[in-house]
Chain A
């Protein structure tokens, strides 16, 4: 396991990436975001690949419902 990743930093980065005005919280159900579309999905996976060198498998991402789910996976696999 790599260095500890700050959850706050992660949430801010996701908010910037999605160009979302409202603060992104761990319990947010991201699929209901207005900004959530195909490009948002590609962007999040690509960003995490670039920054944390983790490619979230598509079959695992499918089951994520909250931003916290994404963060937890990155934390456990980077």
Chain B
């Protein structure tokens, strides 16, 4: 009897998580899969996948997310890394704590507030950027950041850069602080310069944290929602030429504006598969080599 209790007890302790996961994770996931394989009348079908696969707007949203993802990886993350290197330098000294806190503030600011403020910064009439550029004589005609499809993704990237570079720089900082200083000292004794030390020692040792940060950047790009909704979506707008259409926004509109539950569920699974492929490639590229 006692032995049985001992066997059961550990499972009881871990059961709350699994029960909650089953209710709020597994059940919706399975339910979504079933919905994606049904017609509205509840008959089994693969046609939803075919429809989404052939839907040019879905692929437009994926393309937008992919471009934003590349922007995140090649613009936001390098900026964050540079900031982290500065924070980690001796020059910053005790000020690094204050600066880190300042960097973190955008991340805890409500996305709605961020969207509204950036709308004021980016708008054509009396927008901060346009006014500054016109006053400096750099441009004559105001740039339509919010409606010109060419500027749509850069505008969202600007917000992403401001909002996420702080938290990413703190991730990098934690990675940098975990690198033993002896390695750098040994390299310098061997004649390595600052750049070689960074390239051959710091960067490879940041790989584990970078794997995580890039993963977050990829999933975040495909889950883009709040910033864009606040920035351009007014009722039924997703930007000129669908330039602000992101996969999750399209899924949301499909479900709640067009009442296409089955198609929305299918999109959810398609997005999951796309993310799975991208993150698998990412894991392969970031794999530890001997």
Do A and B originate from a single complex? no
Partner-B contacts on A (CB < 8 A)? none
